[in-house]
Structures are given as C-alpha cells and as structure tokens.
Amino acid sequence: MKRLKQLIRPLAEALFPFYIFGHKSYSQDGEDMLLRAFMEIEYPKNHKGFYVDIGAHHPLRFSNTAYFYKKGWHGINVEPTPSQIKKFYSSRKRDININAAVGISNEPLTFYLFNEPALNSFDKELSLSRENDKYKIIDKIEIPLEKLSSILDKNLPEGTEITFMTIDVEGVDFEILDSNDWQKYKPKLILIEDDIDFENIIQNKIYNYLKDKGYQLVGKTLRTSIYKRIN
C-alpha cells in the first residue's frame, strides 16, 4: 500500500494540484487560513480543538469555524437570528448551537434585520447608515441579552480549553468582550471585527482592553483583528 501511494502521489500532484495542496477558506477575508497557520505552529498535526463563535451567522458562508468543523473540531455557535441558527441545527450536529444575543445589559435590545442577514445588528446608528438601494431593514425584533460568561458557564464542557473565539456582532463587539469572566475564560486566540487605525492604535478601545487582559495583536485582515493570549 505504501509503495502504491508513492507511485500515485506524483500523478495526483500533477493532475490535481489545487486539491492536493490547497485549502478551502470559508471566512469572509481568509481569517480561517490565518488561524490554520497559527494552529500548525502551536499544536500537533491533526489537533482537534474547541471554538466559540459569537454572531455565527451561517454554518458555511463567512464562517471562521467551518474549516475547522470539517477537520473534526467542535464548539459553541451563538446566533440571535432565529432563521439563521436553524441552519446550524442541521449542519453542525457536533456543535452546541444557541439562539441568543450576548451583551452586558439585562434589558432586551432591538435587533435590526436586513435583507442581507450578514448585516443584522443591534447597533441602531450603524444599521440606519447601511440602508441604501441594495440593503434594507426588513424587520425589528426585541431580543433579551445574556452575558458571555453566563453562556460559557452553562455550555462549555468542563475542563475544555477554548482554542479560539471569534466575535462578529456588527457594532457591539466591545460589549461582548466586557460581558466575559476573564478569570475563568481566556481563549488562546480571539478574532474580533475591528477597524484598527495602526497609526493611532494606542487609542483603540478594543486593543487596549485586550492588552490589559493579557493579549497581543498578532494578525489583521481587512475587517478582523487577531489577538493571541501571552499570559
């Protein structure tokens, strides 16, 4: 069998190079491929970790976790849009899938629903600014909030390390971070949608917050910043 593989491999590489060497990205801007590179450095080959996806949106489209799910990982997906979380129930059976909104306040917030679900947001000002000929607010619903620490208390398997957490909640990302219990839950890596101005990074609220929690900015895509726990 080993000899057969040695004979077939060169032919397969010549005929199907993208299949042999390539990796399919599901993220919006290749975030999962940056994560893959970090995993190759930090963990043994074929490591299967645990992720937490806040604002999961879709099992495949714009997903920072789909690549890893297909590699045998599992985790927690949290999505406030009822129609979107239903897709996880059928497509992510190894995962813990939760229809909830995350934040600090105990009061319900208005959730703005667009004809493009990737734009759904609790941020009124941001939502109104996004309306144009192509994208429209089609509905508004009141959703109660739950702290991130509470969701993890109830759903994170005991003794499980969070390999990475990804947060994309269209305008209220900082509130998600601030609702965590950092003494109990410190993911190895954090991905968060944040428009960083590198010339004035010291003024960035999320950067300073995560630095204070023991994280270092180690990567950036067009929309997403990647932080690594250093202590």
Question: Which residues, in sequence order, are CB contacts of 27 under 8 Å at separation 6+?
Answer: 33, 62, 63, 64, 67, 221
CATH class as words, domain 34-105+152-229: alpha beta
pTM: 0.82
Q: State how far Cα 193 lies from the chain centre.
A: 9
Domain coordinates in residue numbering, the chain: 34-105+152-229
Q: State how far Cα 114 lies from the chain centre.
A: 20
Q: What are the pLDDT digits (tens) for 134-156?
A: 999 998 888 888 999 999 999 99
User: How much is the mean pLDDT over the chain?
Assistant: 89
Give 41 or 117, the one with higher predicted confidence: 41
User: In angstroms, rounded to a whole number, what is the distance separating the alpha carbons of residues 39 and 47?
Assistant: 8
End-to-end CA gap in the chain: 46
Q: For 217, which DSSP code?
A: E
> What is the DSSP secondary-structure string of 87-116?
HHHHH-TTSEEE--EE-S-SS-EEEEEESS
Looking at residue 60, its pLDDT comes to 95
Q: What are the pLDDT digits (tens) for 176-196?
A: 999 999 999 999 999 998 888
- HSE of 139 in the Cβ direction (CA atoms, 13 Å)? 10
